[in-house]
Amino acid sequence: MRILCAFALMFFSLMTQASDTQLNAALEALQAPQTVLIDVRTQPEFAAGSIAGATRIGHEQIARQIGQLSPDKDTPIVLYCRSGARSGIAQTTLQAMGYRNVINAGGYEALAKALESQP
């Protein structure tokens, strides 16, 4: 039982480190004016609050609409959703399409909080 608990703690610790790394990469990318910020949540979620400058494209529409927003596949793209799951799906889709600089920032609340705490 102790081994199982230790493994679970290690797993969740690694997950937190990975998400912190992604969030930090997103914050760095958002400093560049050419970075495209995409909210892949639903319209009601977006209407309830979003990051300034974000464009909403549902994760299920990303393959069809990304070319209009960012035809250059080297443009930095930062994605977010509620928890990071849908933005992860969108990230995989864009990478499969040849986009080379796609960052999953994770969840809206964590990204908004991190942006607010920046100088």
DSSP string, the chain: -HHHHHHHHHHHHHHHHHHHHHHHHHHHHTTSTT-EEEE-S-HHHHHH---TT-EE--TTTHHHHHHHH---TTS-EEEEESSSHHHHHHHHHHHHTT---EEEEEEHHHHHHHHHT--
Mind listing the pLDDT tens digit for each residue in 5-60?
A: 444 444 333 333 347 899 999 999 999 999 999 999 999 999 999 999 999 999 99
What's this model's pTM, rounded to 2 decimal places? 0.85
Mind listing the pLDDT tens digit for each residue in 67-115?
A: 999 999 999 999 999 999 999 999 999 999 999 999 999 999 999 999 9
| Token couple for 90 | 């969108």
**In terms of residue numbers, what domain contains 70?**
2-116
Q: What is the CATH number of the domain that holds 36?
A: 3.40.250.10
- In the chain, the number of structural domains is 1
